[in-house]
């Protein structure tokens, strides 16, 4: 587990930033729905750190955004949410005009994603101190995540510290934990599944993860999403600790279904048990009977970790399972409940529920990576640049 010493935490080193030029890595890779931001939580989670930098001479914020798209158009939204004036830097040679300035989408720079040392050295000339407040990308071995802490004096922000402490609490109580895990691909989450099957109380799979697991066990899933390449490996994954849904909301259609656009093919929506799914069926949400059993099981538990929506939340008719699950968790008392994942948080924000959860991780992949490996690339020992 990562142990953050006081000499690496921003809150204990405010004197080290006074009158200094700061490079601040955040993750403002936000989503817009009907021109409204639905990832405000991720921005607000960095606000305490941003507000604490007012003694600095100048701050350059670094973030990625959707690949190839400029961050410039988002500056007014950032200014409104953070209540500060923010300048924009098109490239590394641009001259900062404000106290707070946002560098162009860092992934638009060639050296970011391939972790280029020359780019890191050039980037580091923009500041004297580096502050990391982007937990959700901490598992990436990118220049602004992995190399800058090795070049510049580095401190970790308030939210990063908070999230590490939350996940460390999970790791220290793994034998008391239940993991509710969903999403599209099980391949990226398999190390975590193996670890939790071995050490936690129970692993509950939903969504595409459950589909792949069930397909490996020989069940008919019709046109439902699953990972073909993982079938062979999952045939050998057997444990009474793994629970999956046994009934589903399905759509039946002769047409190819794309749930990510606004087209409306002719479909029939039904509830079906596992053995009733036909060749034309497509699983879109967890079934009500499965939810009832899930609720009864979770009432007994003390530690609940949730990552990933339980259905195709992109379409309102298929949000019911995820919404009911979120509301159920909020009713539980005297439990440690941790929710995480970009899609999960965005959904909870849309439904105005996110502020009601006490323990939240801004990371999806980062959260799962840390729970599986108990470290991040920048913290690995004996890794020289």
Same-domain pairing of 147 and 211:
no
Give the pLDDT of residue 314. 87
DSSP, residue by residue, 83-105: TS-EEEESSTTPPP-SSEEEES-
> How much of the chain exceeds pLDDT 90, in percent?
86
Given a cut of 70, whether residue 33 has pLDDT beyond it is no
Give mean pLDDT, residues 346-375: 94
pLDDT at residue 251 greater than cutoff 60: yes
Q: Is there a domain that residue 382 lies in? A: no
Judged against a pLDDT cut of 60, whether residue 279 lies above it is answered with: yes
Instruction: Say whether pLDDT at 68 is over 90.
Output: no
At 378, list the tokens: 């920048």
* Residue 384 included in any domain: no
Residue 385 has pLDDT above 90, yes or no: no
Residue 266 lies inside a defined structural domain of this protein: yes
Q: Which tens digit of pLDDT belongs to each residue from 103-137?
A: 999 999 999 999 999 999 999 999 999 999 999 99
The model carries a pTM of 0.91
Exposure string of 243-261, with b = 16+ CB inside 10 Å and e = fewer, is bbbbbbbbbbbeeebebee
Question: Do 104 and 135 belong to one domain?
Answer: yes
For residue 121, the enclosing domain spans: 6-162
Strands 202-205 and 32-33 turn out to be unpaired
Can you give the pLDDT at residue 67?
Answer: 78
pLDDT in the model for residue 252: 87
Please indicate, yes or no, whether residues 268 and 226 belong to a single structural domain of this protein. Answer: yes
Examine the domain organization and report whether 228 and 266 are in the same domain: yes
Query: Diameter of the chain by CA atoms?
Result: 67
Least confident of 28-32, 123-127, 261-265, 355-359: 261-265
Mean per-residue pLDDT, 28-48:
84
pLDDT at 219 over 90: yes
Which residues contact residue 14 at a Cβ distance below 8 angstroms, ignoring those fewer than 6 apart?
52, 55
**Same domain assignment for residues 69 and 190:** no
Which residues are 9's β-sheet partners? 156
Are residue 202 and residue 350 in the same domain, yes or no?
yes
Q: Same domain for 120 and 192?
A: no
**C-alpha–C-alpha distance, residues 317 and 251, integer Å:** 11
pLDDT, position 370: 97
Query: Is residue 383 included in any domain, yes or no?
Result: no
> Do residue 179 and residue 210 come from a single domain?
yes
Q: 208 and 234 share a domain?
A: yes
* Together in a domain, 119 and 180: no
Distance CA 273, CA 266 (A): 22
Final residue of a domain: which of 162, 186, 210? Answer: 162
Q: Which residue, 162, 181, 214, sits at the end of a domain?
A: 162
Indicate if the pLDDT at residue 59 is higher than 70: yes
Domain end position, chosen among 138, 162, 186: 162
Over residues 181-213, the pLDDT tens digits come to 999 999 999 999 999 999 999 999 999 999 999
Whole-number pLDDT of residue 80 = 94
Check whether residue 229 and residue 254 sit in a common domain: yes
Specify if 168 maps to a domain: no
Which pLDDT tens digit goes with each residue over 281-330?
999 999 999 999 999 999 999 999 999 999 999 888 899 999 999 999 99
Confidence of residue 260 (pLDDT cuts 50, 70, 90): low
- What sign has the CA pseudo-torsion 127, 24, 93, 119? positive
Beta bridge partners of 62: 25
> What distance in Å separates the CA atoms of residue 294 and residue 288, rounded to the nearest whole number?
10
Backbone angles phi, psi at 382, to 5 degrees: 60, 30
**CB under 8 Å to 291, separation ≥6 — which residues?**
321, 324, 325, 328
pLDDT value, residue 30: 84
Instruction: Please give the structure tokens belonging to residue 214.
Output: 């069930």
The answer to whether residue 17 is domain-embedded is yes
Closest CA to 133 of 248, 28, 39, 7: 28
Q: Predicted confidence band at 384 (pLDDT cuts at 50, 70, 90)?
A: low
Q: How many domains does the chain have?
A: 2
User: With bands split at pLDDT 50, 70 and 90, how would you rate the model's confidence at 269?
Assistant: confident
pLDDT given at position 200: 96
Mean pLDDT over the full length of the chain: 93
The CATH number that applies at residue 57 is 3.40.50.1260
Bin 322: left if φ > 0, else alpha if -120 < ψ < 50, else beta: alpha
Distance between CA atoms of 12 and 59, rounded to whole angstroms? Answer: 19
Query: Looking at the structure, do residues 178 and 80 belong to the same domain, yes or no?
Result: no
Q: Is the pLDDT of residue 250 over 80?
A: yes
What is the C-alpha to C-alpha distance for residues 266 and 334, in angstroms, rounded to an integer?
Answer: 46
Q: How far apart are CA 287 and CA 276, in angstroms?
A: 13
pLDDT at 257: 61
- Mean pLDDT, residues 80-105 taken together: 96
């Amino acid at each position: 587990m990562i142990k953050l010493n006081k000499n690496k935490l921003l809150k204990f080193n405010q004197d080290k930033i006074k009158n200094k030029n700061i490079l601040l890595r955040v993750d403002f890779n936000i989503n817009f729905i009907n021109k409204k931001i639905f990832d405000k939580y991720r921005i607000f989670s960095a606000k305490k750190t941003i507000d604490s930098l007012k003694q600095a001479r100048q701050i350059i914020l670094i973030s990625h955004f959707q690949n190839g798209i400029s961050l410039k158009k988002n500056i007014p939204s950032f200014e409104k949410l953070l209540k500060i004036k923010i300048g924009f830097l098109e490239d590394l040679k641009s001259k900062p005009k404000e106290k707070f300035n946002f560098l162009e989408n860092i992934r638009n720079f060639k050296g970011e994603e391939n972790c280029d040392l020359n780019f890191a050295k050039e980037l580091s000339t923009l500041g004297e101190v580096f502050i990391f407040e982007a937990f959700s990308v901490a598992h990436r071995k990118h220049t602004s995540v992995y190399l800058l802490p090795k070049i510049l004096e580095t401190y970790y922000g308030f939210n990063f510290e908070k999230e590490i402490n939350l996940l460390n609490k999970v790791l220290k109580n793994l034998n008391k934990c239940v993991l509710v895990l969903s999403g599209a691909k099980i391949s990226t989450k398999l190390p975590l599944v193996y670890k939790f099957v071995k050490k936690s109380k129970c692993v509950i799979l939903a969504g595409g993860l459950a589909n792949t697991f069930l397909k490996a066990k020989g069940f008919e899933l019709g046109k439902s999403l699953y990972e073909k390449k993982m079938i062979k490996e999952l045939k050998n994954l057997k444990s009474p600790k793994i629970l999956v849904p046994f009934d589903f909301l399905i759509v039946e259609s002769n047409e190819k279904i794309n749930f990510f656009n606004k087209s409306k093919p002719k479909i029939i929506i039904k509830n079906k048990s596992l053995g009733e799914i036909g060749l034309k069926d497509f699983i879109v949400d967890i079934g009500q009977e499965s939810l009832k059993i899930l609720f009864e099981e979770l009432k007994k538990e003390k530690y609940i970790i949730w990552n990933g929506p339980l259905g195709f939340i992109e379409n309102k008719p298929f949000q019911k399972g995820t919404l009911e699950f979120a509301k159920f968790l909020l009713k539980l008392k005297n439990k440690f409940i941790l929710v995480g994942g970009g899609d999960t948080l965005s959904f909870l924000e849309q439904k105005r529920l996110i502020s009601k959860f006490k323990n939240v991780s801004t990371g999806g992949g980062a959260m799962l990576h840390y729970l599986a490996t108990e470290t991040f690339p920048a913290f690995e020992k004996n890794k020289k640049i």
